[in-house]
A and B are shown apart, each in its own frame.
Chain A
Amino acid sequence: MAQADLMDFDKALELYEPVLGFEVHVELNTATKMFCSCANEFGQGANTNTCPTCLGLPGGLPQVNRKAIESSIRLGLALDCTIAESSRFARKNYFYPDTAKNFQTSQYDEPIAFDGALTIELAGGRQVRVEIERAHMEEDAGKLTHKGGATGRIQGADYSLVDYNRGGVPLVEIVTRMIEGGEADSPEIARTYVAAIREIVKALGVSNARMEEGNVRCDANVSLRPRGSQILGTRTETKNVNSLRSVERAVRHEIQRQAALLAAGGTITQETRHWHEDTGTTSAGRPKSDADDYRYFPEPDLVPVAPSREWVEELRSTLPEPPAARRKRLQGDWGFADLEFQDVVNSDLLDAVEGTVAAGASAQSARKWWTGEIARLANAAGTPAESLVAPAQVAALITLIDDGTLTDRLARQVLEGVIAGEGTPAEVVDKRGLAVVSDDGALVAAIDEALAAQPDVLAKIRDGKVQAAGAVIGAVMKAMRGQADAARVRELVLERAGSAQ
Chain B
Amino acid sequence: MPEITAEQVAHLAHLARIDLSPQEIARLTADLGQIVDSVAKVSEVATPDVPATSHPVPLANVFRDDVVTPSLTVEQALSGAPERDGDKFRVPAILDED
A residues within 8 Å of B by Cβ? 1, 30-32, 37-39, 45-52, 55, 57, 63-69, 86, 88, 93, 95-97, 144-148, 154-164, 283-284, 286, 293, 295, 298, 300, 302-307
Shortest CB distance A158–B (Å): 6
The answer to whether B15 touches A50 (Cβ under 8 A) is: no
Please indicate the chain A residues that have their CB under 8 angstroms from the CB of B97 in the complex.
155-156
The answer to whether B66 touches A295 (Cβ under 8 A) is: no
B residues within 8 Å of A by Cβ? 15, 17, 54-55, 57, 59-69, 71-72, 74, 77-78, 80, 85-95, 97-98
- The number of A-B residue pairs with CB atoms under 8 Å apart is 132
Shortest CB distance B61–A (Å): 6
The answer to whether A86 touches B60 (Cβ under 8 A) is: yes
Interface contacts beyond A155-B95, A161-B86: sample of 6 additional A-B pairs, CB < 8 Å, sorted by A: A37-B67, A50-B71, A50-B72, A64-B64, A69-B63, A157-B93
The answer to whether A38 touches B63 (Cβ under 8 A) is: no
The answer to whether A159 touches B68 (Cβ under 8 A) is: no
The answer to whether B88 touches A162 (Cβ under 8 A) is: yes
Please indicate the chain A residues that have their CB under 8 angstroms from the CB of B74 in the complex.
45-48
The answer to whether B66 touches A162 (Cβ under 8 A) is: no
Shortest CB distance A191–B (Å): 29
The B interface, classified by DSSP as helix, strand, loop or mixed, is loop
Please indicate the chain B residues that have their CB under 8 angstroms from the CB of A154 in the complex.
94-95
Please indicate the chain B residues that have their CB under 8 angstroms from the CB of A295 in the complex.
15
> CB within 8 A of A157: which of B61, B62, B71, B94?
B94
Please indicate the chain B residues that have their CB under 8 angstroms from the CB of A158 in the complex.
93
The answer to whether A159 touches B66 (Cβ under 8 A) is: no
Closest to A1 in B: B98
The answer to whether A305 touches B15 (Cβ under 8 A) is: no
The answer to whether B66 touches A31 (Cβ under 8 A) is: yes
The answer to whether B95 touches A57 (Cβ under 8 A) is: no
- Provide the bound-state CA to CA distance between A64 and B63, in Å: 5
Shortest CB distance A311–B (Å): 9
Please indicate the chain B residues that have their CB under 8 angstroms from the CB of A45 in the complex.
74, 87
7 interchain pairs, CB-CB under 8 A: A31-B66, A31-B68, A38-B69, A39-B71, A51-B72, A284-B98, A303-B60
The A interface, classified by DSSP as helix, strand, loop or mixed, is loop
- Provide the bound-state CA to CA distance between A269 and B44, in Å: 41
Please indicate the chain A residues that have their CB under 8 angstroms from the CB of B63 in the complex.
63-66, 69
Please indicate the chain B residues that have their CB under 8 angstroms from the CB of A163 in the complex.
87-89
Shortest CB distance B92–A (Å): 6
The answer to whether A32 touches B80 (Cβ under 8 A) is: no
- Provide the bound-state CA to CA distance between A69 and B62, in Å: 11
The answer to whether A159 touches B15 (Cβ under 8 A) is: no
Shortest CB distance B34–A (Å): 20
The answer to whether B77 touches A47 (Cβ under 8 A) is: yes
The answer to whether B77 touches A55 (Cβ under 8 A) is: yes
The answer to whether B72 touches A37 (Cβ under 8 A) is: no
Please indicate the chain B residues that have their CB under 8 angstroms from the CB of A302 in the complex.
62
- Provide the bound-state CA to CA distance between A68 and B65, in Å: 10
The answer to whether B78 touches A47 (Cβ under 8 A) is: yes
> CB within 8 A of A162: which of B59, B89, B98?
B89
- Provide the bound-state CA to CA distance between A1 and B95, in Å: 15
Shortest CB distance A81–B (Å): 19
Closest to A88 in B: B54
Closest to A89 in B: B54
Shortest CB distance A291–B (Å): 12
Closest to A304 in B: B60
Known contacts A48-B74, A50-B77, A161-B89: does B17 contact A95 (CB below 8 Å)? yes
Closest to B65 in A: A66
Closest to B64 in A: A63
- Provide the bound-state CA to CA distance between A473 and B54, in Å: 84
The answer to whether B93 touches A160 (Cβ under 8 A) is: yes
The answer to whether A49 touches B71 (Cβ under 8 A) is: yes
Please indicate the chain A residues that have their CB under 8 angstroms from the CB of B86 in the complex.
46, 161
The answer to whether B66 touches A67 (Cβ under 8 A) is: yes
Closest to A49 in B: B71
- Provide the bound-state CA to CA distance between A147 and B62, in Å: 41
The answer to whether A39 touches B60 (Cβ under 8 A) is: no
Known contacts A45-B87, A46-B88: does B60 contact A305 (CB below 8 Å)? yes
The answer to whether B62 touches A159 (Cβ under 8 A) is: no
6 nearest A-B residue pairs (beta carbon): A298-B54, A67-B66, A66-B63, A161-B88, A37-B69, A46-B87
